[in-house]
A and B are shown apart, each in its own frame.
Chain A
Amino acid sequence: MSPPLLAVERLTKRFGGLAANEDVSFNVAAGEIIGLIGPNGAGKTTVFNSLAGFFPPTSGQIRLDGQPVAGLPPERMAALGVARTFQIVRIFKSMTVLENVMVGAMLHHPAVRVATERALSALDFTGLTRRAHDPAGRLTVAEQKRLEVTRALACEPRLLLLDETMAGLTQTEVQEAVELVRRIQARGIACVVVEHVMEGIMPIADRMVVLERGHVIADGPPRAIAEDPAVIAAYLGEEYRAPGP
């Protein structure tokens, strides 16, 4: 059997004496959507930063197609096919929307003309074409988040890490974001989605990984997770029921 696209093996990250992640393990298969949830401070963003190469893990291993990649810098991870968005958007504000996406496209197509074409088709895919020539700083929050996704997609990743792309969005915008993640999956790109917005992630995740205080406390299909007493106690609260498929 071929190795999974991403294997996180006993990942531990300590900041001084504080363990943000302790023995975190989970797999992501090609084209799969994984929801990564947990209360505030559970260590979700730390996992992301380790996967994207921003933090070298204290111990443990990260494998991409079976190859060890823990400790590689972000630019190497991007080249290997791991792209990410940021919890607090980090768009290039002095550039136009198109130029933002071009920077992503240049990873594999440094020639400006080719990068422009790729960026335009990525913008078309995410529905930002009509904003292409606007300064990126003038987009709405929802559009800025969409721009970050577009920019990451322009890197032609195999694994996309989405950090709270639905936070602060209206109901309609959440639905649009959900739709977009589905279409990204349809392209064969695996997604790990950190999300607080449950109605955003529950219907689309193939599996959910639940973190609490740096540990994985549950890993399974959304329905099972929603009924898991440990998860309910830690995070969801008694009231929550998974919406029907």
Chain B
Amino acid sequence: MSRAVLGRTIALAALGLAALFPLVVTSATWQNTAILMLMVAQMGVAWNILGGYAGQVSLGHAAFFGTGAYVSTLLALRFGLTPWAGMFAGAGVAAALSLVIGWPCFRLKGHYFAMATIAVGEIVQAVVNGWDLLGGAVGLSLPLHPTGFWPMVFNRSKLPYHYIALGLLLFTLLVNWLVTRSHVGYYLRAIKDEPDAARSLGVSLTRYKLYAIALSSGLAAMGGTLYAQKELLIDPGSTLSTGLSIKMSLVAIMGGVGTLTGPVIGAVLLTAIEEASRMGFGGTGRGTDMVVYGLLIVLIAVYQPSGVLGWIKQRFPASAPAAPPAPASPVEGAAP
């Protein structure tokens, strides 16, 4: 079996598992963990368009996730707009915001860009903290009623959230896949590898980086809407924190930056590690997640910059006769 066929088989099996899981496992804790995995995976895949393919490491993506959460929530509270529409409105606002932020920040290269995005994330968080319309530090709550499809509120069972999260992840993967199959995807990889060479071939760096950030942040915002609907309470700490931004980048880096399914693998692993450490420390250690992140970043940077997928490719080289084993590609920007 060639690696491509094997990969496809594994992907289908994983999809089947994700679809059947909440029907088989009825424990609320496990169901919740599964939804969390799907949501984190979706964020990671969204982040990956900018941070992975285009190589522009953003550590402020929570700003876009939070934008999605706040826009759809505000539209629902003020105008009774269904979150299904609010989700796209949030994506639009986040994409527009990302263009305004991206325009100046893309003048910075490498680490400086990453640092600027941290600053942007912190600024957005500070602004929302002091903005009464958005509930300030207390945040906004959505009503428990009415429930159902259009208000996207379900209180009897977690099942609908699971399938919405799965659907959103698949949609995000589809957008990602379409990008990689178009000239935009090729251009983004070219920009990441050798920006000057890309320019000499007619690629406008600013234009394509802006495409990437708009798509990436729009998709992250859609995840924000889902989070708001699932929790029915959003505040700056939960939707705009730098920890969340780091998590998005970390799952992509763990799984394999610039790969389609890498962030999904990273999300499953990271969520599992987090939940395990939470159970292990029994909730006493607030901040243990940060310790775990730190440790993981160090381990990945030192031992496996190309992530889990990179490790698999090294261990199990493609067996097709013409193709020699893929070399370990040191991934730029993987190290923080």
Contact = CB atoms under 8 A, between A and B. Distances in A.
Contact of B200 (A84, A94, A137): A84
B196 A78 contact: no
Chain A, interface residues (CB within 8 Å), range: 35 or more
A112 B181 CA distance: 7
Given A95-B189, A115-B183, A103 B199 contact: no
A135 B326 contact: yes
Contacts of B190: 92, 95, 103
A128 B201 CA distance: 19
Instruction: Pick the most buried of A94, A133, A138, A151: most chain B CB atoms within 10 A of its CB.
Output: A94
Contacts of B324: 134, 138
A219 interface: no
Given A94-B329, A135-B326, A73 B199 contact: yes
Contact of B196 (A86, A95, A110, A138): A86
Nearest to B181: A112
Nearest to A96: B323
Nearest to A82: B200
Interface in B181-231: 181-183, 186-187, 189-190, 192-194, 196-205
Interface string B159-196: 00000000000000000000001110011011011101
Given A103-B186, A112-B183, A78 B322 contact: no
B181 to A, nearest CB: 6
A83 B201 contact: yes
A92 B200 contact: no
B327 interface: yes
Given A94-B189, A94-B192, A75 B322 contact: no
B90 interface: no
Contacts of B205: 75
A54 B201 CA distance: 12
A90 B196 contact: yes
Nearest to B197: A90
B258 interface: yes
Nearest to A108: B202
Contacts of A75: 199, 202-205
A93 B194 CA distance: 9
A137 B202 CA distance: 22
A106 interface: yes
Contact of B327 (A54, A104, A135): A135
Contact of B194 (A74, A92, A99, A152): A92
B327 A103 contact: no
B202 A78 contact: yes
A90 B194 CA distance: 6
B55 to A, nearest CB: 10
Interface in A101-119: 102-104, 106-107, 110-112, 115
A147 to B, nearest CB: 11
Contact of B183 (A90, A110, A155): A110
Instruction: Pick the most buried of B181, B200, B204, B205: most chain A CB atoms within 10 A of its CB.
Output: B200
Contacts of A202: none
B200 A83 contact: yes
Contacts of A135: 326-327
A117 to B, nearest CB: 14
A78 B200 contact: yes
A208 interface: no
Interface string A131-174: 00111011000000000100110110000000000000000000
Contact of A93 (B183, B203, B323, B329): B329
A47 interface: no
B256 to A, nearest CB: 12
A79 interface: yes
B186 A93 contact: no
A191 interface: no
A18 B202 CA distance: 30
Contacts of B187: 103, 106
A62 interface: no
Contacts of A52: 200
Interface string A194-211: 000000000000000000
Contacts of A110: 182-183
B186 A151 contact: no
B197 A86 contact: yes
A133 B323 contact: yes
A164 B70 CA distance: 56
A90 B183 CA distance: 19
Contacts of A8: none
A86 B190 CA distance: 15
A107 B192 CA distance: 18
Given A78-B201, A90-B197, A94-B329, 15 more contacts: A74-B200, A75-B199, A75-B204, A91-B194, A92-B198, A93-B193, A103-B187, A103-B198, A103-B201, A106-B202, A107-B201, A107-B202, A110-B182, A111-B183, A112-B186
22 contacts: A52-B200, A54-B199, A74-B200, A75-B204, A78-B202, A83-B201, A90-B194, A91-B197, A92-B193, A92-B194, A94-B193, A95-B190, A102-B186, A103-B190, A103-B201, A106-B202, A112-B181, A112-B182, A112-B186, A138-B324, A148-B197, A155-B201
